[in-house]
């Protein structure tokens, strides 16, 4: 006969077993990531709030807070405003819009979900792209009263570019058009026709009312003409596992773990595929092969690691491997190149300028990169390829990229993790673009630096001088060329080997094909900087006299040169003084509108923030300024 204590212990054991079974079931469930997108006020946040509410995933205190917030900020009258569940920022609640991406987790008996609620406003398109970058399914909401809008098209195109292959066309607010089947069919047909070129594998149109829950988690009796699944039923059954299992193994190394002499592991998250102990792997960049000795996790060793698992891999051999590289399947290695073509979504209010140097960051690597060619821009309305010289905010284009060093990557269509990158502005550190790699440019493999027996050091020693690039920058008429010319005469008289690069000898030859738009100015300075670098390699002191109005290009020029070789000289002359001097009559023409894109008038000049030499020219003779620059150079051993 059981005692009370024995019965209690057995009951506790049963509860413990139930809890363990529950945890095991949760761990074995598949995970689906999806996002809601579309135009403003199409009901994205309301739909997610309704999903959470109807699946009983809102706690009592959350519901009480939601009812209170609905009275204060709601737009649904006396009813609960479900959008406030995910619109957490005060600015979002005050304006009734979504600004940032909000992520929510929920689970049903069949599947786990992570949903990203993304903003509909055009100015926050970059946030929508962030949410779409990891999603498997996109729910594109359309207001039944409005139909397909430009932002519907833009978000659908970005979803396609970011590798999403399953679309739910949620025709929302169907209650406001009287649950009219004809309206639903018209919108569904229009969307299918427009999305035909986007390459989606499935498009599931669903008529629903996010506010009242029609067709959200179960079929609604108000739409007897609709025979398809409810939204939740479709999300629970859409098949994405087969796609993940087919991908080759990719393991970007994020950290080298070396706690002691006997342990050297490579930590990261499996980007795709699977790997087991004893299986062969290759180092992506070098091609060196080895085997997996151990798969280490915080909870103990594993025999197999699959996509999405964070692990530390120990290898049989001491191969060269560090952050920025990958372990991969030997039979399906990624591309390694320093040039590729990619689709680019531009996020910055300042336009993309081909030739400007940006920081390109992948899953683990980071290199300097430039857009060597903008091949075309995509029209979001008809997907036409249009000629363009730059990309503006939210525009999409196909670009060729040139990188400072090779990286390992896959085509984005093959692997969304290892085929994606972001662009970062070198000056502001702002993310200005997101890219999806299409293919390597094979010519990159045929170009190698020539190893020369005669070095830059030997050339400089022959000339008994220290190579330098003196970069004179300032407004037109500031005196740059005058100072550079006088300085060269003094250096030449002292036996120094010099050369002056300015508009007269560059614009009429090397850069005769360039105009004065911002794009052409960037390319102009890029070519000048590359030329100056070659001359410095020859051991010369190069005096570069160009307005070079943008800080980004001056920084790019500095980073091209060896340490200490670049000297920025800011010839600081006020605009009024330059206009008064006006040696070529250009200011008068520009101020009268006869010349376009003139620096200081209708094109900006970004003054240096920390010039190596800062000379103010007002009320000073050119010879005095030259002596100042020469003294600076002598003090530091340049001449």
- Please give the average per-residue pLDDT across 188-208, as a whole number: 91
Residues with Cβ within 8 Å of 60's Cβ and at least 6 positions away in sequence, in order, are none
- Please give the average per-residue pLDDT across 557-570, as a whole number: 91
Report whether pLDDT(406) > 70: yes
Exposed/middle/buried for residue 634 (C-beta within 10 Å: 0-12, 13-18, 19+): exposed
Residue found under tokens 């049963």:
14
Segment 66-70 long-range contacts (CB within 8 Å, at least 24 positions apart):
69/93
3-state class (DSSP) for residue 209: strand
In this prediction, residue 235 carries a pLDDT of 92
The closest of 348, 345, 421 to 123, measured between CA atoms, is 348
Confidence of residue 401 (pLDDT cuts 50, 70, 90): very high
pLDDT tens per residue, range 105-121: 888 888 888 888 777 56
Report whether pLDDT(150) > 80: yes
Catalytic residue from among 476, 478, 545, 548: 548
Angle at 173 between CA 167 and CA 174, to 5 degrees: 85
The closest of 398, 420, 255 to 334, measured between CA atoms, is 420
Whole-angstrom distance, CA of residue 314 vs CA of residue 309:
15
CA 635 to chain centroid, in Å, comes to 44
Tallying the residues shown for the chain, one arrives at: 639
The closest of 452, 498, 471, 630 to 559, measured between CA atoms, is 471
State which H helix or E strand residue 375 sits in. Answer: strand 366-378
Say if strands 255-260 and 335-346 run parallel, antiparallel, or are unpaired.
unpaired
Whole-angstrom distance, CA of residue 587 vs CA of residue 334:
54
In this prediction, residue 618 carries a pLDDT of 87
Residues with Cβ within 8 Å of 231's Cβ and at least 6 positions away in sequence, in order, are 47, 51, 139, 168, 170, 206, 208, 215, 216, 217
**Sign of torsion over alpha carbons 433, 434, 437, 440:** positive
Whole-angstrom distance, CA of residue 116 vs CA of residue 297:
28
Whole-angstrom distance, CA of residue 387 vs CA of residue 322:
41
The closest of 359, 561, 365 to 466, measured between CA atoms, is 561
pLDDT tens per residue, range 55-74: 765 545 555 555 565 555 55
CA separation (Å) from 94 to 43, 49, 79, 88, 99? 16, 18, 18, 10, 11
Residue found under tokens 């809890």:
19
Lowest pLDDT segment from 240-244, 420-424, 495-499: 240-244
In this prediction, residue 94 carries a pLDDT of 44
Exposed/middle/buried for residue 431 (C-beta within 10 Å: 0-12, 13-18, 19+): middle
Given a contact cutoff of 8 angstroms between Cβ atoms, the answer to whether 542 and 501 are in contact is: yes
Confidence of residue 303 (pLDDT cuts 50, 70, 90): very high
Residue found under tokens 């250096």:
491
Lowest pLDDT segment from 136-140, 457-461, 542-546: 457-461
Q: What share of the chain is helix, strand, coil (3-state, %, to 5)?
A: 35, 30, 40
Tokens standing for 635? 């003090």
Whole-angstrom distance, CA of residue 196 vs CA of residue 596:
43
CA separation (Å) from 93 to 41, 70, 104, 209? 13, 10, 18, 21
State which H helix or E strand residue 88 sits in. Answer: none
Residues with Cβ within 8 Å of 257's Cβ and at least 6 positions away in sequence, in order, are 263, 264, 265, 266, 267, 312
- Please give the average per-residue pLDDT across 92-104, as a whole number: 52
Tokens standing for 552? 């980004």
Given a contact cutoff of 8 angstroms between Cβ atoms, the answer to whether 31 and 111 are in contact is: yes
Report whether pLDDT(189) > 80: yes
Confidence of residue 81 (pLDDT cuts 50, 70, 90): low
Residues with Cβ within 8 Å of 482's Cβ and at least 6 positions away in sequence, in order, are 622
- For the chain, how big is the Rg over CA atoms in Å? 31
The answer to whether 548 is a known catalytic residue is yes
Whole-angstrom distance, CA of residue 583 vs CA of residue 477:
7
Whole-angstrom distance, CA of residue 548 vs CA of residue 599:
10
DSSP for 243-273, written as a single string? HHHTSPPEEE--EEEEEETTEEEEEEE--BS
In this prediction, residue 250 carries a pLDDT of 92
Tokens standing for 94? 């005050």
CA separation (Å) from 264 to 267, 291, 319, 455? 10, 14, 11, 39
**Backbone region of residue 288 per phi and psi (left: phi > 0; alpha: psi in -120 to 50; beta: other values):** beta
Whole-angstrom distance, CA of residue 568 vs CA of residue 607:
11
Residues with Cβ within 8 Å of 238's Cβ and at least 6 positions away in sequence, in order, are 32, 136, 137, 166, 202, 204
Confidence of residue 144 (pLDDT cuts 50, 70, 90): very high
Residues with Cβ within 8 Å of 578's Cβ and at least 6 positions away in sequence, in order, are 475, 476, 477, 478, 587, 600
């Amino acid at each position: 006969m059981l005692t009370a204590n024995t019965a209690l212990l057995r009951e506790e054991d049963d509860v413990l077993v139930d809890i363990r079974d529950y945890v095991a079931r949760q761990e074995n469930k598949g995970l689906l990531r999806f996002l809601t997108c579309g135009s403003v006020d199409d009901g994205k946040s309301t739909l997610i709030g309704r999903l959470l509410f109807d699946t009983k995933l809102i706690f009592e205190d959350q519901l009480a807070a939601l009812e209170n917030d609905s009275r204060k900020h709601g737009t649904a009258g006396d009813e609960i405003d479900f959008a406030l569940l995910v619109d957490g920022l005060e600015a979002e609640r005050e304006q009734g819009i979504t600004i940032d991406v909000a992520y929510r987790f929920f689970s049903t008996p069949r599947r786990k979900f992570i949903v990203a609620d993304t903003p509909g406003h055009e100015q926050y398109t970059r946030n929508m792209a962030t949410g779409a970058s990891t999603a498997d399914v996109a729910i594109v909401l359309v207001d039944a009263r409005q139909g397909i809008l430009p932002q519907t098209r833009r978000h659908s195109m970005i979803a396609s570019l970011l590798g999403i292959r399953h679309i739910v066309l949620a025709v929302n607010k169907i209650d406001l058009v009287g649950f009219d089947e004809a309206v639903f069919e018209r919108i569904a047909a229009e969307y299918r026709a427009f999305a035909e070129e986007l390459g989606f594998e499935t498009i599931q149109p669903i008529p629903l009312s996010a506010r009242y829950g029609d067709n959200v988690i179960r079929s609604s009796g108000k739409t007897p003409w609709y025979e398809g699944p409810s939204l939740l039923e479709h999300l629970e059954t859409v098949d994405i596992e087969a796609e993940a299992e087919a991908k080759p193994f990719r393991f970007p190394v994020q950290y080298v773990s070396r706690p002691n002499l006997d342990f050297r592991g490579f930590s990261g998250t499996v980007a795709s595929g699977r790997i087991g102990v004893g299986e062969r792997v290759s180092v992506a960049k070098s091609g060196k092969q080895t085997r997996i000795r151990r798969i280490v996790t915080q909870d103990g060793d594993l025999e197999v690691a699959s996509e999405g698992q964070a692990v530390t891999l120990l290898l049989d051999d001491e191969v060269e491997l560090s952050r920025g590289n990958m372990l991969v399947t030997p039979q399906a290695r990624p591309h390694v190149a320093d040039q590729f073509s990619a689709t680019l979504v531009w996020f910055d209010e300042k336009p993309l300028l081909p030739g400007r140097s940006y920081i390109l960051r992948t899953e683990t690597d980071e290199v300097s990169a430039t857009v060597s060619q903008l091949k075309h821009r995509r029209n979001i309305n008809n997907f036409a390829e249009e000629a363009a010289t730059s990309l503006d905010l939210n525009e999409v284009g196909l670009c060729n990229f040139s990188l400072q060093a090779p990286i390992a990557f896959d085509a984005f269509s093959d692997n969304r993790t290892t085929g994606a990158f972001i662009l970062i502005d070198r000056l502001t550190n702002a993310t200005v673009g997101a890219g999806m790699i299409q293919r390597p440019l094979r010519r990159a493999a045929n170009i190698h630096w020539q190893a020369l027996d005669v070095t830059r050091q030997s050339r400089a020693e022959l000339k008994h001088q220290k190579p330098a690039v003196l970069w004179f920058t300032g407004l037109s008429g500031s005196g740059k060329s005058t100072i550079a010319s006088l300085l060269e005469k003094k250096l030449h008289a002292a036996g120094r080997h010099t050369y002056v690069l300015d508009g007269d000898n560059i614009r009429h030859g090397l850069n005769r094909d360039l105009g004065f738009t911002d794009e052409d100015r960037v390319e102009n300075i890029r070519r000048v900087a590359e030329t100056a670098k070659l001359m410095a390699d020859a051991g010369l002191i190069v005096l570069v006299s160009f307005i070079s109005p943008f800080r980004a290009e001056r920084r790019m020029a500095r980073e091209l040169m060896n340490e200490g070789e670049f000297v920025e000289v800011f010839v600081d002359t006020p605009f009024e003084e330059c206009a008064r001097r006006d040696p070529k009559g250009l200011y008068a023409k520009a101020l009268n509108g006869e010349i376009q894109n003139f620096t200081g008038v209708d094109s900006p000049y970004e003054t240096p923030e920390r010039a190596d030499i800062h000379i103010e020219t007002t009320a000073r003779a050119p010879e005095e300024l030259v002596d100042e620059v020469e003294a600076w150079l002598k003090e530091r051993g340049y001449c």
